[in-house]
C-alpha cells in the first residue's frame, strides 16, 4: 500500500503571532516555522504502518514556498521515503490544495492519505474532507486509532460525546487527531540519511490547478487583551465579588 502524507509549513505554535498593521493578515517575516503538529502525527502513523508491514512507501507532499522543502526533509528524517514539493508563492486555500492532492493521488496510485485534522495557522479543517469528496473515497476524520482489515480500515474518531468507530472501505482518507500517537524525534543518522532522499519539485500548473483565491480576508485582528486579575483576602470576599461585581452567582 502506498501512503501519501501531506504536510504544511506553519508558524511555530510557540511564537506569539503579530497581526500586520493594515489588518491584512499575520506577519510571517522572520518568524520561526515548523511542520503542522497534526501532520507530524500523520507522518508517524504512516511510519508505524510501514514498520508493521502494512505500507510499502510513504510519499510526503507539501504545497508551499521553497522553504517548505525543510518541512518535507523533517518528515523524511522521521521515516518518509520521498517527497514532492508543489511550489507556490502565496497562501493557497484548502480547495486548491485538495485539487493538487487529488492529482498526486491519481498519479502516484496512493491507496491511503493521512492528513492532519487541521492546520494550526488557518484552522480550516477542510482539506481532508474536500479531498475525500473530490476522489469519491471514504473518510475518517479526527482519528485516534486505526485498525486495518481486509480492504477496510476501522477508524476510531474523537467526537463530542466520546469515541465513535466507523469502518471505511479502502482506498480512504484519514485525518489525524492529537491522540492517534506520539510522533518520534528524528535521530541524527536519519536526519543525515534524509538529505539524500529525493524531493521532486512541481508547480500547481503541472496538475492543472488554478490557485486563484475564492475568499478575501476582510480583516484580521488581535484577540482582546486579557484584563489583569485581583487578589482576594478570603473566600467571603471572593463570593461577594462574584455576586456583586461579576454577577455570576
Ligand atoms: P486545513 O484544512 O487547512 O485545516 O488542513 C488540514 C490538513 O491538510 C493539514 O493538516 C495538512 O495535512 C493538509 N494541508 C493543508 N494545507 C496544506 C499544504 N499547503 N500543503 C500540504 N498539506 C496541506
pLDDT digits (tens), the chain, 249 positions = 999 999 999 999 999 889 998 988 899 889 999 999 999 999 999 999 999 999 999 999 999 999 999 999 999 999 999 999 999 998 899 999 999 999 999 999 999 999 999 999 999 999 999 999 999 999 999 999 999 999 999 999 999 889 999 999 999 999 999 999 999 999 999 999 999 999 999 999 999 999 999 999 899 998 888 889 889 999 999 999 999 998 888
Residue 232 in domain: no
Rounded to an integer, what distance in angstroms lies between the CA atom of residue 148 and that of residue 213? 37
**Secondary-structure percent of the chain, ordered helix, strand, coil, rounded to 5:** 30, 30, 40
Distance in Å, CA 118 to ligand 1 centroid: 7
CA-nearest of 105, 131, 102 to 116 is 131
**Domain membership flag for residue 105:** yes
Ligand 1 pocket mutation pick from 39, 66, 97 by most atoms within 8 angstroms of CB: 97
CA of 120 to the centre of ligand 1 (A): 9
Give kind and range of the element (H or E) at residue 51. Answer: helix 37-51
Does 204 map to a domain? yes
Those residues with Cβ within 8 angstroms of residue 65's Cβ, 6 or more apart along the chain or in another chain: 9, 87, 88, 89
- Overall number of domains in the chain: 1
CATH of the domain at 20: 3.40.50.620
**Which residue from 119, 120, 173, 183 has its CB within 8 A of the most atoms of ligand 1, so it is best to mutate?**
119
In Å, how far are 66, 109, 124, 149, 188 from 59, measured between CA atoms? Answer: 18, 11, 23, 22, 21
Within-domain flag for 229: no
Report the pocket of ligand 1 as residue ranges, CB < 6 Å: 6-8, 36, 38-39, 42, 61-64, 92, 94, 97, 115-116, 118-119, 122, 124-128
E-only strand ranges, 102-208: 112-116, 138-148, 152-159, 162-169, 172-176, 199-203
CB 29, CB 65: distance < 8 Å: no
State residue 224's pLDDT score. 87
Instruction: Using the atom order of ligand 1, give the atom closest to the CA of residue 119.
Output: 4
Do residues 35 and 13 touch, judged by C-beta distance below 8 A? Answer: no
122 falls within a domain: yes
Is residue 238 domain-resident? no
Residue 44 is predicted with a pLDDT of: 98
pLDDT at 246: 87
Ligand 1 centre from 128 Cα, in Å? 8
Q: How far is the CA of 237 from the centre of ligand 1 (A)?
A: 49
Q: What is the per-residue pLDDT for 153?
A: 97
- Tell which residue, 70, 83, 93, 64, has the closest CA to residue 4: 83
Range of the structural domain that residue 162 is part of:
2-219
pTM tops 0.85: yes
Answer yes or no: is 233 within a domain: no
Count other Cβ atoms within 10 Å, centred on residue 121.
Answer: 17
Rounded to the nearest angstrom, the distance between the alpha carbon of 56 and the centre of ligand 1 is: 23
Q: Is residue 236 part of a domain?
A: no
In this structure, what C-alpha cell is assigned to residue 35?
A: 511542520
CB-based contact 211:92 (threshold 8 Å): yes
For residue 145, what pLDDT is reported?
Answer: 97
Question: Ligand 1 center to residue 73 CA distance, Å?
Answer: 17
Amino acid at each position: 500500500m502506498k501512503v501519501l502524507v501531506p504536510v504544511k509549513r506553519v508558524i511555530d505554535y510557540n511564537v506569539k503571532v503579530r497581526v500586520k498593521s493594515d489588518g491584512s493578515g499575520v506577519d510571517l517575516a522572520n518568524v520561526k516555522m515548523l511542520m503542522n503538529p497534526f501532520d507530524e502525527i500523520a507522518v508517524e502513523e504512516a511510519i508505524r504502518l510501514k514498520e508493521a508491514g502494512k505500507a510499502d512507501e510513504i510519499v510526503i507532499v507539501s504545497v508551499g514556498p521553497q522553504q517548505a522543502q525543510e518541512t518535507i526533509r523533517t518528515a523524511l528524517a522521521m521515516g518518509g521515503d520521498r517527497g514532492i514539493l508543489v511550489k507556490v508563492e502565496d497562501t493557497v486555500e484548502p480547495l486548491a490544495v485538495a485539487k493538487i492532492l487529488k492529482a498526486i493521488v491519481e498519479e502516484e496510485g496512493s491507496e491511503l492519505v493521512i492528513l492532519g485534522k487541521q492546520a494550526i495557522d488557518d484552522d480550516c479543517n477542510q482539506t481532508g474532507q474536500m479531498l475525500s469528496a473530490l476522489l469519491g473515497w471514504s473518510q475518517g476524520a479526527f482519528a485516534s486509532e486505526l485498525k486495518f482489515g481486509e480492504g477496510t480500515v476501522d477508524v476510531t474518531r474523537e467526537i463530542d460525546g466520546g469515541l465513535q468507530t466507523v469502518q471505511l472501505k479502502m482506498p480512504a482518507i484519514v485525518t489525524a487527531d492529537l491522540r492517534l500517537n506520539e510522533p518520534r524525534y528524528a535521530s541524527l543518522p536519519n536526519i543525515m540519511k534524509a538529505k539524500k532522499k529525493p524531493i521532486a519539485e512541481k508547480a500547481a500548473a503541472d496538475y492543472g490547478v488554478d490557485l486563484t483565491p475564492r475568499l478575501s480576508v476582510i480583516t484580521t485582528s488581535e484577540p482582546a487583551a486579557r484584563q489583569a486579575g485581583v487578589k482576594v483576602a478570603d473566600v467571603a470576599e471572593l463570593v461577594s465579588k462574584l455576586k456583586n461585581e461579576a454577577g455570576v452567582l
